[in-house]
Amino acid sequence: MYGEFLKQITEFIFAENTPEKADVIFIPGNGYPHMAEEAARLYRESFAPRILPSGKYSVTAGKFSGVLSRQEQYPGPYETEWEFLRDVLIRNGVPEDVILQENQATYTYENAIFSRKVTDQAGLEIKKAILCCRSCHARRALMYYSLLFPETEFFVSPSCPDGISRYNWQETEAGVEAVTGEITRLIKQFSLMM
């Protein structure tokens, strides 16, 4: 029974799909390059014609906290998450003119809210979208983007920059804290949207 419980948590938190052709690739703001590198790969393989990275900086830090991995490849300096993610995309073969700009969001719900404003202002109809996010953040990101884009079919293409995956999260204290923290945030933030 306990194993089934862990399996259900894993399936819920670690949302993931096989990507399909889409209208846009979304990247919620963060300081890891992995999600933008994945988005660049998908763009190069013609999965979507546009990419929309989103983010100013973390509301808790009040500034861009810096690159969290592979600093030697992405030395900056960067003022915003969007500026950092844009640089990662360009360094990984994405033309600048296909990268949309959203540089005001300070938390995940704002990533979705402001991304919707950007696509609406650009007159884009988003029927299908790929969401490139951190593995253990996938369900929460999907919840917000689905709320703001209710007519859109999403394909979650997660990355695992922190080493916490669907296969090992229950093996370390950091993994358990990350996943239970996501469950707590999902419950609290979902109740605020009602």
Q: What gap in Å lies between CA 136 and CA 150, rounded to an integer?
A: 22
pTM beyond cutoff 0.85: yes
Q: What gap in Å lies between CA 127 and CA 30, rounded to an integer?
A: 25
Q: What CATH number is associated with residue 99? A: 3.40.50.620
Domains held by the chain: number: 1
Percent of the chain with pLDDT over 70: 97
The stretch 148-152 carries a mean pLDDT of 97
Q: What gap in Å lies between CA 125 and CA 24, rounded to an integer?
A: 10
pLDDT score, position 187: 82
Closest by CA to 111, choosing from 133, 135, 79, 95, is 133
| 103 within 8 A of 80, measured Cβ to Cβ | yes
Task: Give the β-pairing of 128-131 and 51-53.
Answer: unpaired
Cα-based distances in Å from 10 to 1, 53, 182: 14, 26, 11
pLDDT score, position 122: 97
The stretch 55-67 carries a mean pLDDT of 91
Token readout for 191 is 């109740």
Token readout for 177 is 């804290």
Tens digit of pLDDT for each residue in 15-60?
999 999 999 999 999 999 999 999 999 999 999 999 999 999 988 8
| 127 within 8 A of 107, measured Cβ to Cβ | no
- Its domain, for residue 148, covers 2-193
Helix (H) or strand (E) holding 156: strand 153-156
Q: How would residue 191 be classed by pLDDT, with cut points 50, 70 and 90?
A: low
- Tell me the CB-side half-sphere exposure of residue 149, using CA atoms within 13 A: 31
